[in-house]
Structure 1
């Protein structure tokens, strides 16, 4: 039987003939009706895979000419297709034969494609002895060129780490391959891996100056992307003390020098934290020193103005009740600031008592089972006023201001007795412990509605707030 495999390796006659390059036998076997050209051996390798790995170009051509041959069957050991093995072996003729066939899928295996391998390995990575160069006709850069010329190649497929071929080649610091991928125009330079790090993050953090310049010249590049910790590429470079990369960012338009991460650290603060003196000087002398108070707004003052301040003051403006000194400030923030003529509403401790607020308090206690800030459970259910306060979010003392601003329109659950006013709707209330109430009324703790109603504390937390 012409298709009977042996008992040792479970390989068919076609498999052996394909590996050894015997064209005559391969043609005879393919002409037989009972021969399955896709029968794998015990390692899951088909005759085509054996021919590819043995660099038998003429046999590969014969097999691809048979319509019954599946050119995408991977092996069992490495899960690699014939195209993948041809790319890794660098055999230019076989790669061209496979890519010429429309049936060949260039994007498998899905999580590490041939383009990933070729992009990740530079010409210098290939260090074969002279005796092994037979059949090795293509360097990785040549292979990348062949792959990206095929229109159905996915330039943005990602591996198990969420990294695209472009990210891989940046990590490997292969500038020539980066140029190839960018010139093709399909690679997404703003793609972030599973940690949110883009190609610019990686190149900046690794100090690949030439690649950083390539990315910052792109029209569609985001120079200030943030990873899962909120860190921007400039902060990566500053944290690693990469003076050359920092200089490139300082020369680039639209780079946010004051971009703060989720811990509130700017590039300058990262450089100071890691004691990179030259980077600190660069960032200070470029546009001033970044002063960041605890409420999240960054102030930038000219270097000459700040030199007289102590070292600690250069990095942080303390939160206190004193007004800022008269002068010119650049206020830098990720949020939008609207300047109005409204007078600030100064808060004071305000006891919420009286006939009008009695029903309001009852509704708040009925709705809430704990302190909004601390999570302390509501005790003394029948007399909750002993240990808890029903607090107006918008101060009751500013009722006229509430009405003038048309805030009544926001209330969708009005109080049962409309005569007490819309401000006494349970929507404008929350349950707090007396200590938390004092902190709220004196602006030492607040709620940020933009950040999923996160609790923000501007003072040392002695109440165990649940942030």
Structure 2
């Protein structure tokens, strides 16, 4: 039985292996939600562009610390043609257990792509099923992602101890199956001794994973058969229903609420399901939550951020308009005294900034954290297009923060030559103006080793 995992699914799997370990706050998602998509991840076949651009395994027996290109054998496995795999193995002297990107062996690649015939051949040729990759994933983990039940059954029959072995972050094969919606594999693992109450290093359990992935069938099965408390929380106080809200999985959300999950719960940062839905930018979910009684549309969450602030920071204009239409207060500040314009500006959401300005929700020169205006926040975060937009809409170039730094000082601190040139062309700033420490823009450029900027300023 071939599953033939799609290229998209495979790329998502690879991308999830490069998670950013950032936890819940008002601007970033939970650990199992936030992924890095590099160009190499988007198209793993483009990493090596010559037939000889691989490194024999003897040069990297130990798991590599940085990117390692796939070998011709890895490429053949990715193509999924057994004859090509056999040909490569006969023509190249490649160890069948050689490592590729992220430490994956050819056998792991065959498992994650659900290629049963290739898998069987590699194992017959001596591929080791006990190896782990750079994240601690083993062959059963990758097989659960691939979705080929025959491979999963074969691995369990040969290596039953893998069924509950965790990877580096505490994730089990059952969690992988729940996350990817592999219902048949999930049921098989449960019936063969998989630990259904296990938690990963962040105390996420299989219910959190299934809800994050948005798989109603697995959620129903967990609630009916597993000993999982529907109100269980991870180390950040997040429940399964918050995971569903964050990802916009309305059907899963409804199942949990129907089974008694509380939508009034707040996590350790003070965020509730409304904050979670706004962070994900899910307009339908936000509208549904607001239709329930007892929700304060201006409730403060982490760092005093309201749902509207979270939506603005994420650039979710549709959610912002919905919240404003329902009575959200556009003038509120978070605990650092930032408003929605500061948040949209610092994150570089040009269309959101333009929309906020068009509605006259806040003053374009309002001062936020450390006295920074939206323009200064955009400069600090190198949001060039937002800077140009703000200036075109009347932002005051002469404004300084609490340290006396203007936009030119900040551009020199961040090494942003384009913005330095842009503001100099406006001819409004005193190029020799000092901040409260007496530093001019050229001094800051020199101190921070921005020598091209330093030379530009000295030439002026």
Q: Same fold (TM over 0.5)?
A: no
Q: 1 or 2, which has the higher strand percentage?
A: 1
TM-score, normalising length: structure 2 = 0.37
Task: Tell me which structure has the larger Cα radius of gyration.
Answer: 1
TM-score, normalising length: structure 1 = 0.37
Q: 1 or 2, which has the higher helix percentage?
A: 2
